[in-house]
Amino acid sequence: DHLAGLPAKFAPWRMADLTVAHRIVYDVRTNWKLIVQNYNECLHCPTLHPSLNKLSHYLSGENEPFRPTYMGGRMDLSDGVETMSMDGTCSRDPLPGLAEADRRRVYYYSVFPNFLFAPHPDYVLVHTLWPEAPNRTRIVCEWLVHPDERARPSFDLSDAIAFWDMTNRQDWHVCEMAQAGISSRGY
CA distances from 122 to 48, 148, 181 (A): 25, 12, 38
Is the pLDDT at 186 greater than 90? The verdict is no
- pLDDT tens for residues 78-89? 999 999 999 999
The predicted structure's pLDDT at residue 66: 87
Measured CA to CA, the distance from residue 26 to residue 165 in angstroms comes to: 10
Mean predicted lDDT score pLDDT of the chain = 95
The predicted structure's pLDDT at residue 102: 96
For a pLDDT cut of 70, what percent of the chain falls above it?
Answer: 100
Which band of pLDDT confidence, cut at 50, 70 and 90, is reported for residue 57? confident
Radius of gyration of the chain (CA): 16
* Dihedral sign from CA coordinates of 64, 74, 140, 154: positive
DSSP per-residue letters across 95-111 = PTT--TGGGGEEEEEEE
The predicted structure's pLDDT at residue 6: 95
Which band of pLDDT confidence, cut at 50, 70 and 90, is reported for residue 173? very high
Is the pLDDT at 187 greater than 90? The verdict is no
For a pLDDT cut of 90, what percent of the chain falls above it?
Answer: 88
Mean pLDDT calculated for residue range 93-119: 96
Which band of pLDDT confidence, cut at 50, 70 and 90, is reported for residue 33? very high
Q: What residues have CB less than 8 Å from 69, skipping those under 6 apart? A: 1, 2, 3, 4, 111, 112
The structure's pTM equals: 0.94
Mean pLDDT calculated for residue range 116-136: 97
Measured CA to CA, the distance from residue 163 to residue 179 in angstroms comes to: 24
